[in-house]
Amino acid sequence: MEKVYEDSLELHRRHGGKLEVKSKVPLKNRADLSLAYTPGVAEVSRVIGADKKLAYDYTLKKNSVAVISDGSAILGLGNLGAEAALPVMEGKCALFKEFGGIDAFPLCLATQEPEEIIATVKAVAPVFGGINLEDISAPRCFGILARLREELDIPVIHDDQQGTAVVVLAALINSLRVLGREKEKVKVVINGAGAAGIAIGRMLLAYGFMDLILLDSKGVIGARRGDLSKEKFELAARTNLAGISGGLSEAIRGADIFIGVSKPGVLSGEMVRSMNQRPIVLAMANPVPEIMPGEALLAGAAIVGTGRSDFPNQVNNVLVFPGIFRGALDNRVKKITDAMLLAAAENIARSVETPDAEKILPDVFDKKVVAAVAAAIK
């Protein structure tokens, strides 16, 4: 077993998971108890009972986010179920606290039925100031997100969609700046049309990119395909303007930008050489990217990013979600709009003072990023 896996198992076993729930107030004597619990707490309940919005002033709702998964699309591992999702969601909650100062709690659900997921999230919503959906497989994730956004009065994002799309857009903004190109004039290929691929496609269009091609496991997504989900069909009408059919080899020819949210090794050096001059390659399959950075650079790529921390240009959602919810909680935002997300991407890009080919994004440990993203959510 790889050492990182062995060490991670040992860490999880030694601590018995990663999260703990603690009191912020003392409970050492009767006086403490009378304020934190009965009889004093009765007054807090009465006050909130008369105006439930006051839960934002007097309870953990002020600073809490639920990280919710049904375990259907865990990392790159697939559908392993609720219990297997738990260590990932605990880790996500730990990141929320470390990077955003947010009290996040994982809820991994014993159901994968969309209506039951929606009902459960709505039932627990009173406790939370926001909902972060995570690792829910496409296409179910789109309908679940749309319904919850519509029906809840707290902000909801699906991080695999919005988080990924925002950080990719930030990376592209700086990449284009470094190379002196314009978003309206570049051809973009998005390989992978799951939660991330669809959301990236939608967000790039919203930001003003004009020429996109999406591919799923069956090839180029075009209006003539009869097997498309609702989300793919909608994007087919707004992308693939040249009406290309075929696979990645056909789609990639002459493209300026490759965005991979698909599988290890699917982008060859030859394909990169068939792209436009000095292309941008964001190969984000985990843990092994669509093409290794060295090979992409050798084939002429000007800028290469991956999901990994051991190469330059790590494209990582952790730059996004803590700030999104920090801003949403601080400003008591009820819906996170596309305009807020586009502004968040611009703020992330701007927080790199002098971007270059090896630094299109801030470091994940750069503490000013959270504030920059949060400033966009209001």
Tell me the backbone φ, ψ of residue 282, rounded to 5 degrees: -110, 100
Scanning residues 249 to 308, which ones bind a second copy (CB under 8 A)?
Answer: 286-287, 307
- Whether residue 163 contacts residue 321, with contact meaning beta carbons closer than 8 Å, is answered with yes
Strand partners, 107: 68
Q: C-beta of 47: minimal distance to a second copy in Å? A: 7
Binding to a second copy by residue 367, rule CB under 8 A? Answer: no
How is residue 323 written in tokens?
């700030």
Residue type, 225: R
The SS3 assignment for 301 reads: coil
Binding to a second copy by residue 141, rule CB under 8 A? Answer: no
Q: Which helix (H) or strand (E) holds 205?
A: helix 195-207
- Residue from 114, 122, 253, 312 touching a second copy (CB under 8 A): that is 122
- Residue from 98, 182, 356, 358 touching a second copy (CB under 8 A): that is 98
Strand partners, 259: 190, 282
Scanning residues 317 to 346, which ones bind a second copy (CB under 8 A)?
Answer: none
- CB nearer to a second copy: give 70 or 216: 70
Binding to a second copy by residue 241, rule CB under 8 A? Answer: no
Binding to a second copy by residue 48, rule CB under 8 A? Answer: yes
Q: C-beta of 65: minimal distance to a second copy in Å? A: 9
Binding to a second copy by residue 123, rule CB under 8 A? Answer: yes
The SS3 assignment for 25 reads: coil
Binding to a second copy by residue 63, rule CB under 8 A? Answer: yes
Report the catalytic residues.
37, 92
Point out which span in 59-67, 141-149, 250-258, 275-283 binds a second copy (CB under 8 A): 59-67
Q: C-beta of 262: minimal distance to a second copy in Å? A: 17
Q: What is the CA radius of gyration of the chain?
A: 22
Cα dist from 228 to 201, 242, 247, 275, 306, whole Å = 15, 19, 16, 27, 28
Nearest-angstrom CA–CA distance, 324 and 321 = 5
Binding to a second copy by residue 103, rule CB under 8 A? Answer: yes
Binding to a second copy by residue 358, rule CB under 8 A? Answer: no
